Amino acid sequence: MSSTIRVAQLSDTHFLEEGAEPEGGHAYDTTEAFAAVRDHLGGRAGTGADLDLIVVTGDVADHGRTEQYRLAGDAFAELPAPVNVCPGNHDFDVPFGAGMGRPGVGTSRVVEVGSWAFLFVDSCAGMMQPDEAGCPVDPPGEARLHSNGSLGDREAAWVRGMAAASTAEHVFVWLHHPPAVTVPFMRNDDYTDEWRALLADLPRVRGFGGGHTHIPGEYELEGRPVFVAPSLKNNFSLEPQTWLPPGYRTYRFEPDGSVTSEVHLVDDQRWPRRPFGRLLRSLFMGEITHGELAEIVARRAAAAGDSA
C-alpha cells in the first residue's frame, strides 16, 4: 500500500452523564460539542471514505465512570470511519477497558496501515500499582486524575519492543500526554526524559499525536513533530488569551515518512472566542494550582452572594 494514510484525531472528549457536574466546574456541554465535531468531520469527509482511521487520545470520560463510557462508545460508533482509542488520566483502567468495546470501536495497541505502524501508548502506565496478585491497577483515590504523564519501565519496554518488532517502515505514537509540553502547568520533565531515552534508539518513530493540555499546538521533540489536539471539554489559546471552540485534528501520513496535520475548530456562537482572565493564565503558567483556582473562584462567588 503506497498511498497517503488519512487519519482524524479527537481528544479529551470528557463525556458526562446527563446532569453530572464536570471536574473543575467549567466546561462545554461535551455531548453537544461531540455532535458538532462529528457533523463537521462528516461534512469534510463525506461518508468517511477518505479517512482510514479515527483515533481518540484519551480522557474519554470526565470521571472514569461506567455510564460515561457507555455514552462515549455509542457516540464513537457514529463516527464515519473505524475508531481506535487509548486512555488518558481521567480514564480509570477497569471501566475504560470494559466500556469501550463496540463494533467499529477498538482499543488495539498497535494498528498497521500501509507503510505505517501506529502505537497506542498508555501514558499513565507508570502510575499503576500492583494489587495482591501482582496485576497493575490504578493508584487509590483520584491520584490518576492529576497525572501529567508517566511511562514506567514496563510501558517503555513495550514501546521499544513494538517499535523494533514492527515491519512497517514508519512508526507514529498516539498517546494522551504529549511529551515536552510547552504549558508550564502541565510540564513533567521526568516524563519527557523517558521519551528522550526511547527516541535515541528508535529512529523509525516519526512523531506524536496527543491531547491533555486543551491547548492545540505543534512543536518538536528530538526532531520529531508533536501534534496536540483540541479538546471537547474546554479549549484555549495562550496567544491571544482566549477560549476556543471545540475541534479536532486531521493528518496525512505519506509513504516517505512525512506527516502533516491541521487543526479544525467548530466556530459557533455557542462557543465564542472570548478572552480569559488573569486567573486562568496564572494556572497555565504554573503560578497557581487547580485547587487554589477553585478556592479563589469559591471565595469570589461567596463574596458576590454576600454583597447581593
Q: What single-letter amino acid sits at 198?
A: L
Instruction: Round to whole Å and give the CA distance between 224 and 248.
Output: 21
Peptide bond into 240 cis (omega under 30): yes
Query: Is position 289 within any domain?
Result: no
Residue 41, domain CATH: 3.60.21.10
Local mean pLDDT, 10-residue blocks, the chain (308 residues): 87 94 88 96 66 97 96 95 97 94 93 96 96 93 92 98 95 98 94 97 97 97 98 95 97 97 96 92 90 84 75
**Domain contains 302:** no
Does 113 fall in a domain?
yes
Domain assignment present for residue 284? The answer is no
Residue 153 resides in a domain: yes
Question: Which among 220, 218, 269 is positioned nearest to 243, based on CA atoms?
Answer: 269
**What are 263's three cell numbers?**
487543526
What is the dihedral sign for C-alpha 104, 105, 106, 112? positive
**pLDDT score for 33:** 97
Instruction: Judge whether 177 lies within some domain.
Output: yes
- Please state, in angstroms and rounded to a whole number, the distance separating the CA atoms of residues 171 and 64: 29
d(Cα 252, Cα 8) in Å, to the nearest integer? 9
Would you state the pLDDT for residue 32?
96
- Phi first, then psi, for residue 16 (nearest 5°) are -125, 150
Reduced to 3 states (helix: H, G, I; strand: E, B; else coil), residue 117 is: strand
| 30 within some domain | yes
Q: Is residue 65 part of a domain?
A: yes
Q: Which residues contact 276 (CB under 8 A, 6 or more apart)?
A: 236, 241, 242, 243
In this predicted structure, what is the pLDDT of residue 136?
A: 93
Q: Is 227 helix (H, G, I), strand (E, B) or coil?
A: strand
CB 284 within 8 A of CB 217: no
- The residue segments making up the domain with residue 191 are 5-276
C-alpha cell at 269: 456562537
**Strand 5-10 versus strand 247-253 pairing type:** antiparallel
Which helix (H) or strand (E) segment is 106 a member of?
strand 105-106
**For residue 184, with 0-12 CB atoms within 10 Å meaning exposed, 13-18 middle and 19 or more buried, which class applies?**
exposed
Q: How far is the C-alpha of 151 from the C-alpha of 136, rounded, in Å?
A: 13
pLDDT confidence of residue 48 = 47
Residue 54: CB partners within 8 Å, gap ≥ 6?
Answer: 7, 8, 9, 10, 41, 76, 79, 80, 81, 82, 83, 84
Report the domain count for the chain: 1
* pLDDT reported for residue 275: 95
